[in-house]
Amino acid sequence: MDQVVTAVMDLVVPPASMVMLAFAWPTLSFLRGVEWVLKTLTKEDMLGKVVVITGASSAIGEQLAYEYARRNANLVLVARREHRLLGIRDNARLLGAGQVLVIAADVVKEDDCRRLVSDTVSYFGQLNHLVNTVSLGHDFNFEEAADTTAFPHLMDINFWGNVYPTYAALPYLRRSHGRVVVNASVESWLPMPRMSLYSAAKAAVVDFYETLRYEVKDDVGVTVATHGWVGGDAGGGKFTLEEGAAEMQMQWKEEREATLSGGQVEAYARALVAGACRGDAYVKRPGWHDVFLVFRVFAPDVLAWTFRLLLSSTTAGGGGPTSTTAAARRPPPAAALPAPPPRPLIEYPAAPAARRPAQLQNKLE
C-alpha cells in the first residue's frame, strides 16, 4: 500500500505544485514587494556598528569593505597577508569608515578565528556583522588533477574557512542580535564543469547555513548570497600549500586575483550589503539564475541537454583557451595507468567442496 501511495504522490504532487505556484505567483510577488518596502524603510543603521570581513583582500571582500565604509561602520579586515589590507584600510577610511582594524589570520585555523573574534570584542566591545568572503576556485577537470594534495586545501578554504569564524563569533552575534553574511555561489546548486570541488564545497556551505538559520532562530540573522560570474581570469596560476607541502602548479582562480570588468563585483557587493542591512535571507545576483533551479527540480533532463549543447559548442569552437588547455591535459591513456596488483589485496579462503549425499554417491557408482 505504501508503494502505491508513493507512486501516486510522485505523479500528482509535481504538476499540482506547479499549477498552484503559477496561480499564487502574482500574490507572492506582491507580498514580497511589500516586504521589501517595509524592510527598506526599517533597514539597519550601520553607524558605529562593528563588521568583521574575512577574506578582505579578495576582490569581493575589498568591495564589501568599501560598501560598509560608506555606511560609516567600524571595520575589522581579516586576511592571511596583512600588507595587502593596508591600502584597503586607507581607502575605507576615506570613504567614511569609523575605526578600521587589520588582523592577519588564517580562517582555516580555529585558534586564529578565536583570536580575531576575541581581539575584535576586546577592542570594540561588540560584534554586529560577520561577513565571510574567503573563496578559492579552480579550473580543471577532476581527472586532470595530478596531485590530490590540493583537494583538502580547497575544502578547508571554501567550507571550514566559513564554519570556524562563525563558530567563534556566534555567542557575540547572539548578544548583539547580529548577522552572518555568507558569500556563496550559484555553483552550489548549478554545478559547472571544471569546478567539481568548488561546487561541492559551496553546496556544503549553503546547506550548513540553511540548517544554522533554524538553529539560531531570530537571535542571529543569516544572509546567504549567491552570485554568478562576476568577472575574473581563471588562467594558469600557482598557489602554495602550507605546512611543508610541495608547491603545486595547476589551473586555479582566486577572487583576490579577479580582473574587475564592468563594475560587476562592485554591483554585487552593493546589493549584498543592502540586502544584509534590510535583513534579507537571500541575495541573488543576477536573479534570473533561479530559473535553472526550477528546471533542475522539475525537468533535469532539459537542463542537462542545454548544458551539453552549450559546452559542446564552446569546445568545438577551437582556438580558444579552454579547448587548448583541455587538449593539453587529457586523462592518461590506458597504457599509462598503474598496473593492477599481482595478487588480490584480500585473501578469501577457498570454499570447501560440497559433500554429496550417500544415495547420490551410490547411484553415480
For the chain, list the domains and their CATH numbers.
Answer: 46-312 (3.40.50.720)
Residues 81-99, mean pLDDT to the nearest whole number: 92
Percent of the chain scored above 70 by pLDDT?
75
Which residue, among 132, 151, 130, has the nearest Cα to 140 in the 3D structure? 151
DSSP assigned state of 207:
H
pLDDT at 2: 83
pLDDT in tens, 141-184: 888 887 788 888 888 999 999 999 999 999 999 999 999 999 98
Query: Which of 66-70, 138-142, 266-270 has the highest mean predicted lDDT (pLDDT)?
Result: 66-70
> Does the pLDDT of residue 224 top 60, yes or no?
yes
pLDDT at 331: 53
> Does the pLDDT of residue 241 top 70, yes or no?
no
Name the more confident of 45 and 347: 45
Helices (H), 279-320: 290-298, 300-316
pLDDT at 102: 95
Residue 183 CB: number of other CB atoms within 10 A? 29
pLDDT in tens, 184-211: 887 767 767 788 888 888 889 999 999 9
Which residue, among 189, 150, 182, has the nearest Cα to 163 in the 3D structure? 182
In this structure, the dihedral spanned by the alpha carbons of residues 160, 162, 163 and 169, taken in order and rounded to 10 degrees, is 140
Q: d(Cα 265, Cα 257) in Å, to the nearest integer?
A: 12
Q: d(Cα 22, Cα 6) in Å, to the nearest integer?
A: 24
Name the more confident of 68 and 59: 68
> Does the pLDDT of residue 91 top 90, yes or no?
yes
Residues 226-244, mean pLDDT to the nearest whole number: 47
pLDDT band at 348 (very low <50, low <70, confident <90, very high): low
Name the more confident of 49 and 82: 49
DSSP assigned state of 13:
H
Q: What share of the chain is helix, strand, coil (3-state, %, to 5)?
A: 55, 15, 30
Q: d(Cα 260, Cα 265) in Å, to the nearest integer?
A: 7
Catalytic residue among 198, 209, 282, 348: 198
pLDDT at 288: 72
Residue 85's alpha-carbon distances to 78, 82, 103, 138, 165, in angstroms, are: 8, 5, 9, 24, 18
The burial class, CB within 10 Å (0-12 / 13-18 / 19+), for 331 is exposed
Measure the CA angle with vertex 157, ends 152 and 159; round to 5°: 85
Residues 277-285, mean pLDDT to the nearest whole number: 90
Residues 74-90, mean pLDDT to the nearest whole number: 92
Q: d(Cα 180, Cα 222) in Å, to the nearest integer?
A: 5
Measure the CA angle with vertex 69, ends 64 and 71; round to 5°: 105
Residues 51-58, mean pLDDT to the nearest whole number: 93
Q: d(Cα 73, Cα 52) in Å, to the nearest integer?
A: 10
> Does the pLDDT of residue 73 top 70, yes or no?
yes
Q: Are 113 and 165 in contact (CB under 8 A)?
A: yes
pLDDT at 19: 86
Q: d(Cα 85, Cα 352) in Å, to the nearest integer?
A: 72
pLDDT at 143: 84
Residues 49-73, mean pLDDT to the nearest whole number: 94
Residue 122 CB: number of other CB atoms within 10 A? 8
Q: d(Cα 72, Cα 277) in Å, to the nearest integer?
A: 13
pLDDT at 22: 84
Name the more confident of 326 and 353: 353
Beta-sheet strands, E only, within the chain: 50-54, 74-79, 100-104, 129-132, 137-138, 179-183, 221-227, 236-240, 247-253, 282-285
Q: Is 198 a catalytic residue?
A: yes
> Does the pLDDT of residue 261 top 60, yes or no?
no
Beta-sheet strands, E only, within 188-228: 221-227
pLDDT band at 230 (very low <50, low <70, confident <90, very high): low
> Does the pLDDT of residue 356 top 80, yes or no?
no
Q: DSSP 3-state assignment of 179?
A: strand
> Does the pLDDT of residue 240 top 60, yes or no?
no
pLDDT at 108: 93
Which residue, among 93, 16, 39, 99, has the nearest Cα to 274 in the 3D structure? 39
pLDDT in tens, 10-22: 888 888 888 888 8
